[in-house]
Structures are given as structure tokens and as C-alpha cells.
Amino acid sequence: MLSRTPGKHALIFVALTVLIDIIGFGLVIPVFPSLLVELTGRGVSEVAVYGGWLAFVYAAMQFACAPVLGNLSDRFGRRPVLLLAVAALGVDYVFMAMAPTLGWLFLGRLLAGIAGASFTPAYAFVADVSPPEKRAQNFGLISAAFGVGFILGPALGGLLGGLGPRAPFLAAAGLSLLNLVYGLIVLPESLPPERRRRFEWRRANPLGTLAQMRRHPVVLRLLAALGLWMVAHQVMPSTWTFFTKHRFGWSEATIGLSLALAGLVMATSQATLLRLLVPRIGERRAALLGIVVAGTGYVGYGLANQGWMMFAWLSTWFFGAMVMPSTNALMSRTIPADAQGELQGAVASLFSLSSIIGPPLMTHIFSRFATTVPGAAFFTAGILAAACFVTYWAATRALRTSPVVQEAGA
């Protein structure tokens, strides 16, 4: 069945697919320390290294497979690729819930990374079916699903973790398989056969758009600064659970609550502070302010000797959440209209690379210094944030007198 005007249920399914992908990612974070301790018999600080490599495997497969799934959907249509990815994710969560050894858990995260790349055909589906006047609105629905998922996932994972470290995996499996049934009923095909094209490996290159940014030197330097910023931020999802459990003995519920609060702080900032502050001081100053405040927060986490301090320092992300959208807006102002898609592809590729590099780096540092300097990973993130500030400042000095940036800060 082909349709250019699918009902609201089809868009709801696509939004739910993205939402469940993100919830599933966040759902399992609070229980990873306990599950890894159970599977290996080692201490929390020791198994943090495995946590970093599990995150690496997931991110690497998602990075490699996102353009592949997108190109497969151009060849075979959006519906079969989306439904297959949802089904694979549900089966994989069952697989991980039953994993008897660490090796099986690694295999599970590898498969989850492949299936979790479903956001590429999901976005393509929305682009297919959205008329120009509703495109921003429909993409906003998908973006909202990302934000909600980052809040709900850790909170639900923390609560379900009280039933055992495998319970969140079973919950994620149930959500995925229920969504599959819903999709089988409501999802039409959005790409008719005459608009499909042959699959080509050269067009499935995840680094292609990033390489194209060499033609835009200012943007390339800003991307370098963003790369430092993104790697620094990886300390939160990769190390937070192990650090707080090791340092303060937090339960899964407390860990999940803290990560959900971090997501809520960032979402609130992007809904309020961006609209209030950026028009007054401009994208450049807003981003630099966010880097300084959140970088200070990283040092604060590392120095914290009581659990409540971690919650207090989360407030720094009210400003830190401005960095990405402000920088994205600034880069889009300095690049031609016909290169905007390439820019967004480069930003997405950079985020994926940071998700590959950051977790093993941060968890290795934490594990190595857990008994002497427990906050070492957060101090490393602070150093990276400082390097980001210097790189960002140097990259944008010439833009301080640009009429475009002045207008933004007027």
C-alpha cells in the first residue's frame, strides 16, 4: 500500500519508534553496573571499563549502519526497513535480558546498535509524507520524541532496576514488540517504486558529509570545537552510573532519577533560555557562556564528596544545553544555503564519532583512578571543555564583527 498522505497514526508510529529507541537506550543505563558485576563477579570500578566498551560497540554499529539503513530504505522502501529494525530491536532486548555471559551481552549491544539506527529511515519517511508547510511541525514531533525519551528512559530504568538488572531489558523488548504490532497495522509505504534507486555502498559512507566541511574553514574549526565538547559530554552517559554507585552507593532508582533530571534541565533550557537569552547576546556568546558554566560543572562533579552535590551541579546544564543549538545556528549562518544538509550530516557524524571515542576513554580513566582520584573522568571532561572554549573563541574571533552575528546579538 502506497500513500503520500498517511493518517496521523503513521506519524505517531514513527515518533514512537524514535521514542522507544531512545527510551531503550536510557532504560538500561542505570542497571549496567549491577548487571556487569553479576556477569563478571568484579567490583563497580573494574566493570566500568566493560561499560565503556559496550557503549563503544553500540555507537560504532549505529554510526556505520545509519547511512546503510537510509540507503536500503531508498532501495526497498521505508516500511520494510523500519519494521525490520523495530522487530530486530525487540528481539535483541530479549536476547540481552537472557545473556548468560559478558560476550553475549556484547553481541546484544552490537545488534542493538544496528537496529537502533532506525532513525535514518524514520526521518526519511517524515520527509516523504510531509508537505512543505508541515515539514517543520512533523520534524518537531520527532525531535520532541528524542527529548522525551532521554527523560523517560533513565527514570523508568531506575525504577524497574529494583526488580533486578535484567528487568529493564524485558520492558524495552515489550515496548518494541508492541510498537511493531502497531506499525504492521498503521504504517503505509511512503516511497513508490518509481522513486526508488539502486543501493550503492559509496553513498552509504558515514564520513562523507564530514569531509565536505573542508570547503568551509570557519565551520570546520567550529566542528573541531564541537568535537571536543561532545567527547567531554560523553562522561555523563558513560561514567555517571559507575561513579555515583562507586562513590556514593546510589541505587538504580537514584541513578535513573538523576539522569532523568539532567534530561529535564536540558529540555527546559532549550524551551526557555534559548528563546530569552540568545536573541539578547547572540549565538556566539551564548555558546561560550554555556561551555564555561557546564565545564565548571564537570569539575564540580569530580570534587563532590556527597551525593546531593551531584544533583546541585546538574543545574549547570541549564546553560550547557545552549551550546549545541547555538553553535548549530551560528554555523548555519556562515554556510551557503545549498550546503545546509551537508552541515547537519556532518554534525550528526561528529556526534556519532564522539559516542564511539568518549565512553571507552572516560570509563578507562575512571577505572584507573577510582581509588585515588575518583573524579578523574570528570576532571578530564573539564579539561576538554576548556580546550573547546579556546578553540571556539579562536574560530569565531572574526565573526565578532560580522553583521550577521551582530544582528543576532542585537
Pair 183, 216 in one domain: no
Pair 249, 384 in one domain: yes
Please tell me the least confidently modeled range out of 45-54, 347-356, 389-398.
347-356
**Which amino acid, 206?**
P
The percent of residues in the chain predicted with pLDDT above 90, rounded, is 26
Please report which confidence band the pLDDT of residue 386 belongs to, taking 50, 70 and 90 as the band edges: very high
> CA-CA distance, 286 to 279, in Å (whole number)?
9
Is 195 inside a domain boundary? Answer: no
Please report which confidence band the pLDDT of residue 239 belongs to, taking 50, 70 and 90 as the band edges: very high
Please tell me the least confidently modeled range out of 24-28, 34-38, 55-59, 188-192.
188-192
The pLDDT value given to residue 91:
85
Q: Which residue has the cell 558529509?
A: 209
> CA-CA distance, 365 to 354, in Å (whole number)?
16
Radius of gyration over alpha carbons of the chain, in Å?
A: 21
> CA-CA distance, 171 to 99, in Å (whole number)?
15
Average pLDDT, integer, range 231-258: 92
Q: What is the number of structural domains in the chain?
A: 2
Is 198 inside a domain boundary? Answer: no
The pLDDT value given to residue 407:
38
Is 179 inside a domain boundary? Answer: yes
Please report which confidence band the pLDDT of residue 406 belongs to, taking 50, 70 and 90 as the band edges: very low
The pLDDT value given to residue 160:
86
Pair 120, 235 in one domain: no
Instruction: Choose the final residue of a domain: 140, 158, 189.
Output: 189
Per the model's pLDDT, the better-predicted residue between 200 and 194 turns out to be: 194
Please report which confidence band the pLDDT of residue 89 belongs to, taking 50, 70 and 90 as the band edges: confident
CATH number, domain containing residue 153: 1.20.1250.20
The pLDDT mean for the chain works out to 81
Is 347 inside a domain boundary? Answer: yes
243 close to 374: Cβ distance less than 8 angstroms: yes
Pair 316, 385 in one domain: yes
- Cα of first residue to Cα of last residue in the chain, in angstroms, is 51
Is 30 inside a domain boundary? Answer: yes
> Taking each helix axis from N to C terminus, what angle separates 119-129 and 78-97, rounded to the nearest 10 degrees?
150
CB atoms within 10 A of CB 308: 9
The percent of residues in the chain predicted with pLDDT above 70, rounded, is 82
Pair 267, 381 in one domain: yes
Pair 114, 57 in one domain: yes
Is 200 inside a domain boundary? Answer: no
DSSP 29-48: GGGHHHHHHHHH---HHHHH
Pair 28, 170 in one domain: yes
Backbone angles phi, psi at 198, to 5 degrees: -70, 140
Per-residue pLDDT of 107-125, as tens digits, reads 888 888 887 767 667 767 7
Pair 177, 253 in one domain: no
Per-residue pLDDT of 155-190, as tens digits, reads 888 888 888 888 888 888 888 888 888 888 877 777
Pair 172, 242 in one domain: no
**The C-alpha cell that represents 204 in the structure block:** 552509504
Pair 352, 230 in one domain: yes
Please report which confidence band the pLDDT of residue 139 belongs to, taking 50, 70 and 90 as the band edges: low
Instruction: Choose the final residue of a domain: 122, 155, 189.
Output: 189
Angle value at C-alpha 266, between 27 and 283, nearest 5 degrees: 140
Per-residue pLDDT of 30-53, as tens digits, reads 888 888 998 888 888 889 999 999
Average pLDDT, integer, range 363-370: 94
The pLDDT value given to residue 397:
81
Instruction: Choose the final residue of a domain: 162, 189, 216.
Output: 189
CB atoms within 10 A of CB 259: 26
Please report which confidence band the pLDDT of residue 362 belongs to, taking 50, 70 and 90 as the band edges: very high
320 close to 265: Cβ distance less than 8 angstroms: no
- Residue from 204, 187, 198 nearest 120 by CA: 204
The pLDDT value given to residue 315:
93
DSSP 117-164: GGHHHHHHHHHHH--HHHHHHHHHHHHHHHHHHHHHHHHHHHHHGGG-
Average pLDDT, integer, range 195-208: 64
Pair 213, 308 in one domain: yes
* Helices within 213-339 (DSSP H only): 217-233, 235-248, 252-303, 307-313, 317-320, 323-333
Structural domain that includes position 167: 1-189
DSSP 324-347: HHHHHHHHHHTS-GGGHHHHHHHH
> CA-CA distance, 327 to 393, in Å (whole number)?
12
**Beta partners for residue 189, in sequence order:** 2
Is 268 inside a domain boundary? Answer: yes
Pair 137, 66 in one domain: yes
Is 196 inside a domain boundary? Answer: no
